[in-house]
Structure 1
Amino acid sequence: MITQVSAAEESGSTTSAGRGKRPRPPFGVSAVAVAAVLIALFSLLPLAYVVYMTAATGWDTALELVFRPRVGELLLNTVLLMLITVPLCLILGVGGAWLVERTTLRGKKVWAVLLAAPLAIPAFVNSYAWVSAVPSLHGLFSGVLIATLSYFPLVYIPAAATLSRLDPAVEQSAASLGLGAWRAFFRVVLPQLRIAMTGGGLLVGLHLLAEYGAFAMIRFDTFTTAIMVQYQSTFNGTAGNMLASVLVFICLILLVVEVRSRGTARYARVGSGAQAKALCLPLHAYQWPAQLALLGLTLLAFGLPLLFVLRWIIAGGTEIWAADEFVPALLQTLLYGLAGAAATTVVAFPMAYLAVRHASWFSKGLELSNYVTSSLPGIVVALAFVTVSIRLVPGVYQTTGVLIAAYVLLFLPRALVNIRAGLAQAPKELDEAAQALGSPPLLSFIRVTLRLTAPAAAGGAALVFLAIANELTATLLLSPNGTRTLATEFWSKSSEIDYAGAAPYALFMIVISAPMTYLLFQQSKKVAGQ
């Protein structure tokens, strides 16, 4: 199809359409720009909430609430958690990716999937399983254990994708200069993984800041668990707002550190010709130790949680499958997931269209606002919506619309990134040709651009659906009375120490998450191969 367009251009058939002109968006550039600006302003609501509440509190009171022993304790817990967990995730993620992609590891196709599988288990389900196995589990190192086993795939997936597309010529050149395998890895291969490592480390760090259920279950205090306690005791009190402001500040620091740590080096392959075949380092005597290490990691991160979920299901018998409790939770999870995914995908289109078809510093700035907001923990976003809805429009507090709006803000980048990639691969010349033949911009957009972008948009919607199905904190704070999702029902029953009753909800969250996790892994490999 692209070849036909190129031939038409060479024959001059598109001259009447105005060669080089960008296709008009369905509602005009100004309308799309206005929609994108409104979306950006809407996405900055949580930041505006934090700034407003800090200013309204007054500097003296704010400083008194921030600089107190409790905040110092939470800050120490958070810093230690991140300083230990993020490096461990980097070691496990990069190490697993290197074994799968760059060694003669046996069964590497199976291990490639198994190392991504723990991502299908929500961290609070992982914590539930480990508490079932070791009831005395609590404190910092318990948090490190659960967080590491839950989040190392966030590093493994991008690292494996990067290694699979890394040109082995750089390693061959290093070997020709006399560097051994290990020296070549640390001096040549590891620097090429900088983007994957910094991006994966950022995701791990943001998840650590946002996580509530996993740490609350093992009685490990973080900013998120403390904010939730403050909210439940004083209903969005001043102390909770100040904790939220500190949490937002830490998130912004993480974003700045990640951007600066990317560096300015070029990682793209610019030479001509076919890429050389990857060299696989023989493991020899290390084959069985590598197999046992991966087996142990997989059993701890995926096998143990699944085992204890199934164990509690067997222990609970048929009584835990009461249809009047389980079916409504499953249906509401599916409905909220579908509605949130659809709304997020629709909202993402104007921003993505402006970023791809009318790229400028203006569109990049608008797009950046969404990433900043999505990095904030769900509890901060939820508190912003609670405050705004109660003070400005009380009638919408705890309604489905507010909850869906929070989902949109939290997970907009998941749809935006996919739609942007889909639009970039949809030739604008086809839209131009359709408009040159007399088709109105809206009709040509639906018939051409929208159809070509649909697969990418569906992938983004699937990722948003997965995130909503496992979302806990925002749903607990914003859901209408009577709402029962798999995550909230699981949390309700596990909080009452009804571990058998919570097991079916955990199992279905895993069943829903597993295909989406596999899709994410396959998509990363597909992108790596392009």
Structure 2
Amino acid sequence: MARTVTSSSARGTRLGRPLRRVPRVLLVPAVLTALISLLPVAYLVVRASGGGIETVVETIWRARTWELTVASLGLAAAVTLLSIFVGVSLAWLVVRTDLPGRRVFGVLAALPLAVPSYVAAYIWIAAFPGLTGFTGSVLVLTLVSYPYVYLPVAAALARIDPAMEEVALSLGRGRMSVVLRQLRPSAAAGALLVAMYALGEFGAVSIMRFDVFTTQIYTSYRASFDRTPAAVLGLLLVVVTFVIVVAESRSRGRAAYATRGAPPRRRRVVALRPAGKAAALVWSGAVAAAAVGFPFAGICYWLLEGASSGVRPDRLLAAFGATVGMAAAGALVSTALAVPVGVIAARYRSRTASVLEQASYVGHALPGIVVALSLVFFAVRYAYPLYQRWPMLVLAYAVLFLPAAVGAVRASVLQSPPVLEEVARSLGRGPFAVMRQVTLPLALPGVTAGAALVFLTAMKELPATLLLRPTGMDTLATRLWTETGSGAYGAAAPYAAVLMLVAAVPGFVLGRRSTKEDT
């Protein structure tokens, strides 16, 4: 019978032995990843220090700064809590109940990842002009980001052995105590991604006319040659991010969540009563309609309205190729950088491991424009041949979306049996051989899911792409932004439609995996 291996040691254990020293084969690439992630912070420090300590203190103590802090934290908290509720409830209904059409709902639950937040915001605001400010921002960001919680939680539910629940019942404990304990790391990882996404969002909140850190940083950069206030606000955003990441790390506790033995071949399915089944269908259908059906209907309306505007096929094809190529390169680089950090975060309990993991989340909370400007600063001063070349854009994607890959890798490694790694070590395998032959093959589903999430998100990225793309290269997102910026919504519709269709492919695959039966 498969069972869970847990530990309450202060430093974490594996089969009774402490995991403290990180092997060099993991430590060196993880440190490199941390340094890359902290590059925007170095840029902000240089910019902020250039104005003197007086300017820094004055910017921090402005009433406007505290208003932005409250607005940003309130938005992130509301979006995160709602995303947890939506994501966990849908994952439970799709994976662990007899919900009619649950395979279809499982795919639909992942498809909002294909909808750019700025497209969703425009469609909602065009249909409901009064839906602005905090309420509209929370609605749009929740609908496009809850899959970050749904996907890891659904994967975790699929891997929980029903025998564990039966043991809990025999000991007089509730079934849900085991389920919730097993879901905690996956839900926490997804919630952290949602919080970082909400803090760093720019396009949707701009359209909704809700001022947060990102919009104020962008305005400050555009309105003045003195970028010190914007840099100070960026550093404050980094501090907020650090606090959230530390809180998430502590919420996971010190237990491990691996299953010893093979994954369960069958899941326990809860039979819903007629009233419960009807309520579940209404809830699942309402979320799918709001998050997927409404945006796609809006795009179809754009296409019909702009049928006579004419779109050059060669330009559309070039933008498609650039989008897929850059997003794929960003996904590969991000995943390669995330693997050592994710393994360290899952297997080692030390200050070094915590610092490396937390450093990888910094860039995700910064606006794309700040990350892009930091890379422009770096390229001009230290790597000029790479200025306005595709490697800088790929590096920006890695900095911005690394947490998606790290969270997926960490959650997957946590659920992999550590005893197999111990056996490999006892047979004389070194750290690199153990990771290559045991750890990574077991964690491959999580690694693949992380790469797919980065690919999806990178295709929709806008501010960094606008600043760092090579001269003459357009992606679907930049062409969409250019056309909508000039009011040519009909001309923008084909780019939006292709972008959403391309992004829907990995979204479909991820959603399909969440409902796939174990065999």
2:35 to 29, 38, 41: 41
Counterpart position of 2:17: none
Q: Is the 8 A contact 1:161 1:524 kept in 2?
A: yes
Q: What are the superposed Cα offsets for residues 153-205 of structure 1, whole Å, 9 maximum, x if unpaired? A: 211222222222223345446666888xxxx4765543442222222211110
* 1:311 pairs with 2:301: yes
Provide the residue aligned with 2:273 in structure 1.
283
Secondary structure of the residue that 1:106 maps to in structure 2? coil
Residue of structure 2 aligned with 1:135, choices 118, 129, 132 = 129
In structure 1, C-alpha distance between the alignment counterparts of 2:263 and 2:288, rounded to whole Å: 39
Counterpart secondary structure, 1:124 = helix
Change (3 A) 1:301 1:327: same
Higher alpha-carbon deviation: 325-334 or 107-116:
325-334
How many angstroms apart in 2 are the aligned matches of 1:273 and 1:251? 35
- Partner residue, 1:507: 497
CA apart distance, 1:335: 3.3
**Partners in 2 of 1:168 and 1:452 — Cα distance?**
24
Instruction: Please say which of residues 465-474 and 275-284 is displaced more in the overlay.
Output: 275-284
Cα–Cα, structure 1 residues 236 and 466, in superposed 2: closer, same or farther, change >3 Å? Answer: farther
Match runs of 1:25-424 below 5 Å = 37-169=31-163, 171-172=165-166, 184=174, 187=177, 189-234=179-224, 237-269=227-259, 278-323=268-313, 325-344=315-334, 351=340, 364=353, 368=357, 371-377=360-366, 378-392=368-382, 396-412=386-402
Provide closer, same or farther for how the CA distance between residues 453 and 414 of structure 1 changes in structure 2, counting only shifts above 3 A.
Answer: farther
Q: Identify unmatched segments of 5+ residues in structure 1.
A: 1-28, 436-443
- Is the contact made by 2:133 and 2:210 (CA closer than 8 Å) also made in structure 1? yes
Q: 1:223 to 1:278 in 2, by over 3 A?
A: same
Q: Which amino acid aligns with 1:145?
A: L
> What's the counterpart of residue 7 of structure 1?
none
In the TM superposition, residue 488 of structure 1 has moved relative to its aligned partner by 1.4
Summarize deviations over 1:316-348 as a string: whole Å, max 9, x none: 014242235423322322332344345556666
2:96 and 2:267 in contact (8 A); partners too:
no
- The whole-number CA distance in structure 2 between the counterparts of 1:169 and 1:30 is 38
Paired letter, 2:232: M
Distance 1:162 1:486, change over 3 A: same
C-alpha displacement of 1:355: 6.2
Q: How far, CA to CA, are the matches of 2:351 and 2:248 in structure 1?
A: 22
Q: Report deviation, 1:206.
A: 0.6
CA distance 1:335–1:166, change in 2 (3 Å): closer
* Cα distance in 2, alignment partners of residues 273 and 150 from structure 1: 31
Q: Contact 1:37/1:366 (CA < 8 Å) preserved in 2?
A: no
Amino acid in the other structure paired with 2:311:
W
TM-score by length of 1: 0.77
1:319 alignment partner, SS class = coil
Report the 3-state secondary structure (helix = DSSP H, G, I; strand = E; otherwise coil) of the residue aligned with 1:483. Answer: coil
Amino acid at match of 1:497: G
Q: Distance in 2 between matches of 1:389 and 1:314?
A: 43
**1:229 & 1:259 partners in 2: Cα distance?**
33
- Partners of 2:171 and 2:27 lie apart in 1 by 53
**AA aligned opposite 1:467:** T
Bigger shift: residues 138-147 or 513-522: 513-522
What TM-score, normalized to structure 2? Answer: 0.79
How far apart are residue 257 of structure 1 and its match?
0.8
Gap regions ≥5 residues in structure 2: 1-22
Quick one: percent identity of the two aligned structures? 36
Across the aligned residues of Structure 1 and Structure 2, the Cα RMSD in angstroms comes to 4.3
